[in-house]
Amino acid sequence: MTHCAIAAFTNSNPSTAGVAIGALLGAAMLVTMVVAGLVATTKPFDIAKRPFLRDMTFFLAVAFWLFYQIYHGEINLTTSVGFLCLYVVYIAVVAIGRCINQRRRARLQILEKIINEDGGAISVSSTNKVTERTPLIPPPSVETVPPSNTNNNNADLDGDWTEGRVQPMRLDEEKRNSDVASDQALEGVENIISGLNSSSDIDFTEHSFLYILACGLNPIDNKKWKSSRFIFKLLMILQAPWKVVCKALIPIVQLNKPQRGWNRPLTSLSLLLAPPFCVFATKGGHVTLGTTFPLWALLLIFGFVLSVLVFFTSDNFKPPVYQWVFSYVGFIVAIVVTYTIANEIVNLVQTFGFFFNLSNVIMGLTFLTWGNSIPDIVADVTLARRGYPRISWSASFGGPLFNLLIGVGFPCTITIVKNNGAPILVDYNVVEAVGFGGLFMSLCFTFITIPLLGFRLRPKFGYVLIVLYLLWLIVAVLAGVNMF
């Protein structure tokens, strides 16, 4: 969601600011009500008091500050920088609170040990306990025992958002057979894929430069292809062109692969293509140095030099000592790719809004929000069902808070500085009033109700949140089509 807000605020079309505001408000409503509601329906659990009160206080303050600025029709430099500083303050409060809580917990453990020794009791070793330091994905050799209760009592109720791990569901080890029709339909593709191994499985001494490059660009994993059903094979084929483009543009360092996934031809190709792509993706293709020499040509030469240097200072058998640099290069290029996709999404949303005669705000509240929040729904609900509802609950509020602070602060600061300090003008209308009203209603309802419930969430509370979101969505859509 943050990348879409950045793309909308930094867009050359000033009307896209409404898309960003609508998307941020819609995401905040969807995540704090639907995602949090689905997490609450998984099972009853207790939430941590101090982090809940901290996050809700920051969230209400940020929402009111943003509403104040939108109501007055502009976002100035003080507000955008203030949002960034407030996020730094929030991180500092979280870190300091964490340190204080850890020290308090350590003192309690020492005191408990002294009491047990004085009373003649045998101190129980904590090495087998499941604590907040237990990894979400334990090593294969470690057998994790589920907690004996579902209330997460082994975690401090006024401590951090942590809990014991419930043993994850085991995947069915038996492979499901594909039907004859699907095998025949994909037989030709399978023959091509079987001829290309992943780059980590290549014997470099027996294959040519082009074969190694083709293996690195291969978008379909041979093992996954053989074990997948027809529908997933079809999905792999549809994703293949995009994966090839990403592999060609983004240098990759894979720590879990042999030789960290080193592929000399592919890395050289990525270093050649990435610089000019970044120029065009950030709308700098028209920039010239002096009067005639284009910037993209300079970066193309720069990329060519880097590509040649890497190719002739390394070999196919082992990665060079400077391979770690490519992880940072790949991260930067990946951000540019994400920014490009976000720009196109915003343009599509505006196009559909114009076609259906809907405002930018309502398009951001609905379609853009739903599309960007699907990963949050899947990740948080899955994490809650695997025994981490408190972590999922905290993510339901920490994620939207990050989106509001960074999604407004960062792009608005860039845009205002580029425009010589001119504030970003925002049109305050009835749809945005409904959006802010729903957000305040959601936060206040949660802030008041949960302490009354004794900081214990039950499925009924989750269902109430989901119903409230649906009612708010109906009102927002009616406001968007000028029904009132």
Look at the alpha carbons of 464, 470, 473, 479 in this order and tell me if their dihedral is positive or negative.
Answer: negative
Is 150 within the bounds of a domain?
A: no
* Lookup: tokens for 203: 């014997």
Distance CA(12)–CA(16), nearest Å, equals 8
Both tokens assigned to 423: 């504030």
Phi, psi for residue 45 in degrees, rounded to 5: -155, 155
Asked if residue 207 and residue 125 are part of one domain, the reply reads no
Distance CA 424, CA 416 (A): 7
> Phi/psi class of residue 152: alpha, beta or left (left: φ > 0; alpha: ψ in -120 to 50)?
left
In a domain, 166, yes or no: no
Give the model's pLDDT for residue 415: 84
Q: What is the pLDDT of residues 372-417, one digit of tens each?
A: 777 778 888 888 888 888 888 888 888 888 888 888 888 888 888 8
* The pLDDT of residue 450: 92
Maximum average pLDDT range among 92-96, 359-363, 376-380:
92-96
Of 36-40, 184-188, 225-229, 412-416, give the lowest mean pLDDT range. Answer: 184-188
Assess contact for 132 and 113: CB atoms under 8 A.
Answer: no
| Residue 281, pLDDT above cutoff 90 | no
Are 12 and 136 in the same domain? yes
Domain containing 294 equals 186-334
pLDDT of amino acid 162: 41
User: Which residue has tokens 């091509």?
Assistant: 192
Give the model confidence (pLDDT) of 457-471 as tens digits.
889 999 999 999 999
Residue at token pair 């509001």: 404
**Which pLDDT score is estimated for 467?**
93
**The domain spanning residue 472 has which CATH number?**
1.20.1420.30
Q: What does the pLDDT look like over 19-41, one tens digit per residue?
A: 777 778 888 888 888 888 899 88
Residue that is last in its domain, among 300, 317, 334: 334
| Sequence-separated contacts (24+) of 78-82 with Cβ below 8 Å | 79/408, 79/412, 80/408, 80/409, 80/410, 80/412, 80/413, 80/416, 81/409, 81/413, 82/409
Residue 418 has pLDDT above 60, yes or no: yes
Mean pLDDT across 251-268: 85
Q: Are residues 257 and 363 in the same domain?
A: no
SS3 293: strand
Residues 364, 469 within the same domain: yes
Instruction: Determine the pLDDT at residue 363.
Output: 72
pTM: 0.63
Q: Which of 302, 334, 366 is the last residue of a domain?
A: 334
State the total domains in the chain: 2
- Is 475 among the domain residues? yes
- Is 197:216 a contact under the CB 8 Å cutoff? no
One domain, residues 294 and 374: no
282 is a domain residue: yes
Which tokens in the block code for residue 336?
């540019």
Residue 451 pLDDT greater than 50, yes or no: yes
Pick from 308, 334, 360: which residue ends a domain? 334
